[in-house]
Amino acid sequence: MKKVALVTGGAKGIGSAVVKRLINDGYKVALTYNNSEEKALKLCADMGAGCRAYKLDITDSNSVNSVVSDIEKNFGEIAILVNNAGIAEQTLFTDITDEMWHRMIETNLSGAFYCSRAVLKYMINRKSGKIINISSIWGETGGSCEVHYSASKAGIIGMTKALAKEVGLSGITVNSVSPGVILTDMTSHFDEETMNSLKEEAPLNKIGTPEDVAGAVSFLASKDADFITGQNISVNGGMNI
């Protein structure tokens, strides 16, 4: 029987590349979307019966609990959780309002917390599972004019390491992937000059693709990564090494 992977924010960008890769690896995939309904339904139609789309705002913990319970009852036991959904924003630190700060932390950090907690209830009972969190290079090194984003993503790495220690004895691994600059809607507003200078900061002198990130997620989800936990894999072309 195929294992089930749950991918948050799976309708587009890095999430959709992860969905395609995990389907290709032999998983059934439950993807969640918030606003991108059309893209989510099209992706699932393209992927076939092994892919199901669920509407979910990850900042609403009650909805997270009910979607996870629905997937467990009606689609299959969740073996892999990929906490991918997130938002970004470029703002001077002194211009970050309380609302902007809370929205960033609530989406990028609390969202991953709600999803992990909901799924762990089942994983701990089964004594197996893998959680893969998408952080960011700015969570590792800090990004100017993205302090709230960087703090949320550094929090993801801290949560990854702490949770890995707590659930290791339950046979569950927790790791993170920190992408560098990847071409998606999140980075599409950068002008050509900015993109070129970001590209030049990476020794590999290129911008990453969603598939580059999906490859690392696929590895961490695989049996080959059974002895790896509490780790962060940087997928960034060598930026900031």
Q: Beta-carbon neighbour count of residue 76 at 10 Å?
A: 18
Residues 49, 59, 157, 12, Cα dihedral to 10°: 40
Q: Does 19 bind ligand NDP (CB under 6 A)?
A: no
Instruction: Restricting to residues 29-68, name those near ligand NDP by CB under 6 A.
Output: 33-36, 56-59
Beta-bridge partners for 29: 5, 51
d(CA 6, CA 210): 17
- Is 45 in contact with 19 (CB distance < 8 Å)? no
Q: How many residues bind ligand NDP (CB under 6 A)?
A: 30
Q: Print burial letters for 114-132: b (CB count within 10 Å at least 16), e (below 16).
A: bbbebbbebbbeeeebbbb
What 3-state DSSP class applies to 151? helix
Q: Does 187 bind ligand NDP (CB under 6 A)?
A: yes
Please identify the residue of the shown chain whose CB is closest to the bound ligand NDP: 13
Among positions 6, 22, 67, 134, the unique one binding ligand NDP when judged by CB under 6 A: 134
Which range, of 21-29, 64-72, 86-94, 157-165, touches ligand NDP by CB under 6 A? Answer: 86-94
Copy the structure tokens of residue 2.
Answer: 């195929």
Q: Does 112 bind ligand NDP (CB under 6 A)?
A: no
27 tagged catalytic: no
What 3-state DSSP class applies to 232? strand
- Please name the helix (run of DSSP H) or strand (run of DSSP E) that holds residue 237, with its range, or none: none
d(CA 177, CA 99): 27
Tell me which of 33, 54, 114, 149 is the catalytic residue: 149
As a whole number of Å, the CA-based R_g of the chain is 17
Copy the structure tokens of residue 230.
Answer: 């509490």
Among positions 116, 184, 218, 234, the unique one binding ligand NDP when judged by CB under 6 A: 184
Which range, of 63-71, 158-166, 179-187, 225-233, touches ligand NDP by CB under 6 A? Answer: 179-187
Q: C-beta of 109: minimal distance to ligand NDP in Å? A: 11
Q: Does 176 bind ligand NDP (CB under 6 A)?
A: no
Q: C-beta of 41: minimal distance to ligand NDP in Å? A: 11
Among positions 77, 87, 91, 228, the unique one binding ligand NDP when judged by CB under 6 A: 87
Among positions 86, 129, 155, 237, the unique one binding ligand NDP when judged by CB under 6 A: 86
Q: Does 11 bind ligand NDP (CB under 6 A)?
A: yes
Which range, of 6-14, 94-102, 140-148, 220-228, touches ligand NDP by CB under 6 A? Answer: 6-14
- Residue linked to tokens 């580059």: 212
Could you list the active site residues?
A: 149
Would you tell me which residues interact with ligand NDP (CB under 6 A)? 8-9, 11-15, 33-36, 56-59, 84-88, 107, 134, 136, 179, 181-182, 184-187
